[in-house]
Chain A
């Protein structure tokens, strides 16, 4: 096993034990990127010099005293919509190229305070919104999309170029690329992780997301990131919790609600894989029963669309008038359409969202977790876009925390995954359930 094969948890443990140097880990990942990047194209900017410098500093610090920091020496990729001091935030938008940012986002600050090393910026769909194709390719099949908008983060972790990366999700932009790339992701409750210094898509929907190779890794990063940030007006102020402890013992078999609405809408191979996964969970002892959404899915998606398009259109209203030609085709159309949606429609959708939330909370609260296929289809061809976000958008709409775990490979050697949805601020229980479920399935091999 090479250092680049290590999960974040294993790397942190090895570094703490003095078995692995932070410098050697960074160098191993840089070598891995050099060997695979022409195929994957996950990175907007690899900060080799900055990462090695940070790793050398940590190595010197480790010699002085044993490190206690959670993520000491662990390299992490940042979706190129998070500000990081000394690096540009390009968001795949030409007018932003070369403009170096002078301050860390809240996420980058909290990761650095936990001892992490920022390896660089990963490719994003332009401004993290929409389905315009990106240069990044799926590590399992270079003709297919890695998903989006956290395309580079999903592909980089999937290709073992970095043990962990940050994404964002407004509709389906963290869980979908994670599923397509065969990795684990956690989208926490809305407000759990700071959005300070994160370029916005839609202010009532944007969630930072964690993209890793195990549930233990997801808990480790959440432990470092679940902090109140007074600079973010939507930041939750919760009591500290031990998320890592929740993954040490899987505990009792969970009661899971298998969502029939997602099974009915999924493509046949995805539906079959999800039903197979559910049956394996049952055989392992989980209580799996079918449940249905309390409201029609098309209504949820319509509410999400109206709010997202209105808010997103507003975010870009001024900039698009000066730089329209730099916006990609589909994103430009979304912004321009959003700008002409009537306010009455936005208010109607916002009122519905508030009313529907109570019904969704009751459904989710009736079991330990809601499960279903993470995505509607297997990854489509790269030139067609980044895939369908509908299976994740219905949870982003209400800010529920959810995870995706890989379950098996298709006959074409493409990853399948299931998502598990939990209660608001119930990440401890969600991570416990996800740990239990994760142990039912064989880990996927490396795609490269």
Chain B
């Protein structure tokens, strides 16, 4: 699945459905429907927030040290 800012919630939901179908089988799709809805909402929401390119955030991969506030 390729994600990008501006991708519609419906596209995200469709991609999650396909991934779940391929991973767990068609018999699990109904059981996963509510969670995939929730996941699509959450993923869509977090991608609404603009972030600078990761190359401009070199410290991202470094764990926060104790007391550091990020």
Cβ contact within 8 Å between A334 and B35: yes
Give the distance in Å from the alpha carbon of A344 to the alpha carbon of B49 in the complex. Answer: 14
Give the distance in Å from the alpha carbon of A337 to the alpha carbon of B13 in the complex. Answer: 12
Cβ contact within 8 Å between A337 and B36: yes
Cβ contact within 8 Å between A339 and B23: yes
Contacts known (A305-B42, A336-B28); A344 close to B3, Cβ less than 8 A: yes
Interface digits, B42-70 against A, CB 8 Å rule (1 contact, 0 not)? 11011101010010010010001011011
Of A305, A309, A424, the contact of B67 (CB 8 Å cutoff): A424
Cβ contact within 8 Å between A351 and B51: yes
Q: B38 on the interface (CB 8 Å rule)?
A: yes
Interface digits, B30-41 against A, CB 8 Å rule (1 contact, 0 not)? 011011101101
Give the distance in Å from the alpha carbon of A299 to the alpha carbon of B46 in the complex. Answer: 7
Of B39, B45, B60, the contact of A337 (CB 8 Å cutoff): B39
Give the distance in Å from the alpha carbon of A341 to the alpha carbon of B51 in the complex. Answer: 20
* Chain A proximity of B70: nearest CB distance (Å): 5
* Chain B proximity of A345: nearest CB distance (Å): 5
Q: Which residue of A lies closest to B3 (CB)?
A: A344
- Considering only residues 185-242 of chain A, those with a C-beta below 8 Å from chain B are 191, 236-238
Give the distance in Å from the alpha carbon of A271 to the alpha carbon of B39 in the complex. Answer: 29
Contacts known (A332-B31, A336-B28, A337-B32); A357 close to B69, Cβ less than 8 A: yes
Of A337, A349, A424, the contact of B46 (CB 8 Å cutoff): A349
* Chain A proximity of B54: nearest CB distance (Å): 8
Cβ contact within 8 Å between B46 and A345: yes
Cβ contact within 8 Å between B43 and A341: yes
Cβ contact within 8 Å between B41 and A236: no
Contacts of B47 in A (CB 8 A): 345, 348
Give the distance in Å from the alpha carbon of A345 to the alpha carbon of B49 in the complex. Answer: 12
Q: Which residue of B lies closest to A425 (CB)?
A: B67
Contacts known (A342-B3, A351-B57, A357-B69); A336 close to B49, Cβ less than 8 A: no
Of B1, B31, B51, the contact of A352 (CB 8 Å cutoff): B51
Give the distance in Å from the alpha carbon of A353 to the alpha carbon of B2 in the complex. Answer: 21
Give the distance in Å from the alpha carbon of A350 to the alpha carbon of B60 in the complex. Answer: 9
Of B34, B35, B60, B67, the contact of A354 (CB 8 Å cutoff): B60
- Considering only residues 304-349 of chain A, those with a C-beta below 8 Å from chain B are 305-306, 309, 329, 332-334, 336-337, 339-342, 344-345, 347-349
Interface digits, B13-36 against A, CB 8 Å rule (1 contact, 0 not)? 001100110011000100110111
- Could you say which of B34, B41, B46, B69 has the most chain A C-beta atoms within 10 Å of its C-beta? B46
Chain A interface residues toward B at CB < 8 A: 191, 236-238, 298-299, 301-303, 305-306, 309, 329, 332-334, 336-337, 339-342, 344-345, 347-352, 354-355, 357-358, 361, 424-425
10 intermolecular pairs with C-beta atoms under 8 Å apart: A305-B42, A306-B43, A336-B23, A336-B31, A337-B16, A337-B35, A337-B36, A340-B19, A345-B43, A357-B69
Known A336-B20, A339-B23, A351-B54; further 11 A-B contacts with Cβ < 8 A: A238-B66, A301-B42, A302-B41, A303-B42, A334-B35, A340-B20, A345-B43, A349-B46, A351-B57, A354-B60, A358-B69
